[in-house]
Copies of this chain bind each other. A is one copy, B any other.
Amino acid sequence: MNRIPVAILGATGTVGQRFVQLLADHPWFEVKALAASDRSIGKPYAEACHWLLPSPMPTAVRDLLVQPIAPGIEARLVFSALPSEIAQTAEPAFAQAGYVVCSNTSVHRLDADVPLLIPEVNAEHTALIETQRRQRGWSGWIVTSANCTTTQLALALKPLHDTFGLRRVFVVSMQAISGAGYPGVPSFDIVDNLIPFINGEEEKVEQESRKLLGVCRQNRIEDASFVVSAQCNRVPVREGHTECLALEFERRATPQQVIDALESFRPSAQVAALPSTPAQPIIVRREPDRPQPILDRDTGNGMAVVVGRVRPCPLFDVRLVLLGHNTIRGAAGGAIHNAELLVAQGWLRP
């Protein structure tokens, strides 16, 4: 099929670079435009962008001239990695102008008429798009991907909530430095150290996870009723967020039942066929000391969640550890995945 022309908003930042990298050979999308803040405008991307990824900058984008963050860009779909204060007005402007906006920014995630999507988890939440367009009078629309820590959490919780009914979730995260962007965390703050605080992160995990696992009824989302308590830490790891969970269910579950539910989880055929959907979204490891960031973060090209240490909890039903790639599944890869879903569902045609 003809590839859909897409643009990346905030293309020079770390998440923007991941978009560029992951879209380089995408079968459905073709990067036609890159937009960034004032001081980059008019420069070739290769010059405007301090490239931070190990793989080289894709040749196709090197000479694209960076454009302003405003409608008029030659694209039908825009991926947004904008800072919240810019996204606040820019994303609606694009949606109003007819663009489809797949955003990785937090600012519109909890809006009642904006889908917060993970294809394997809640593909049916795209039903909100109609409401959004009608209410706001937009020809385009916005869909959002979740916070990085929340994304991998919600993906692992999905089959467990479906099977056993979640009641209470404790989560303590150990998050990679890439999650803070660039320059992000000063090295003097994190070498031989950790920081037990990430501004706003715990609230996002606690709220977004309930919307993600909520039910779409009459074009609105009823949040799931379980309660999450999140504690978020920054650790000296480049990529990959690790989370220690304790879970209480409506219906008692043994570790083996939890493992079975996680391993047998498969997305719908439509979602399974998306280019970015990993063969198995949730991998369960049996070794006592997995998952580990360095060994597991690239599983499924960074789109799978790896679970380990599923064991009983003296207080709740089970404890487990999960890990995901925060700048792939948890950021750029997740937003691209959502765009693929829009195509598969027919919202967006090649």
Contact = CB atoms under 8 A, between A and B. Distances in A.
Interface in A15-52: 52
A11 interface: no
Interface stretch (A94-102, A151-159, A234-242): A234-242
Interface residues of A, number: 59
Interface in A296-331: 297-298, 308-309, 313-316, 319, 321
A172 interface: yes
Contact of A319 (B191, B229, B290): B229
Nearest to A315: B229
Interface stretch (A69-77, A142-150, A180-188, A257-265): A180-188
B229 A314 contact: yes
A221 interface: no
Which of A52, A184, A229, A297 has the most CB atoms of chain B within a 10 A radius of its CB?
Answer: A229
A231 B206 contact: no
Which of A187, A191, A246 has the most CB atoms of chain B within a 10 A radius of its CB?
Answer: A187
A184 B184 contact: no
Contacts of A227: 314-315
A137 interface: no
Contacts of A236: 187, 191-192, 235-237
A294 B172 contact: no
Contacts of A275: none
Contacts of A319: 229, 231
Nearest to A197: B289
Contact of A233 (B53, B186, B244): B244
A196 B244 CA distance: 8
A189 interface: yes
Contacts of A177: 187-188, 191
Interface of A: 14, 52-55, 168, 170, 172, 174, 177-178, 182-197, 199, 206, 227-229, 231, 233, 235-238, 242, 244, 246, 288-295, 297-298, 308-309, 313-316, 319, 321
25 contacts: A168-B315, A170-B170, A172-B172, A172-B244, A174-B194, A182-B186, A183-B183, A184-B186, A185-B186, A187-B236, A192-B192, A192-B238, A193-B237, A193-B294, A194-B292, A195-B289, A195-B292, A196-B289, A196-B290, A196-B291, A206-B314, A229-B316, A231-B319, A235-B235, A236-B236
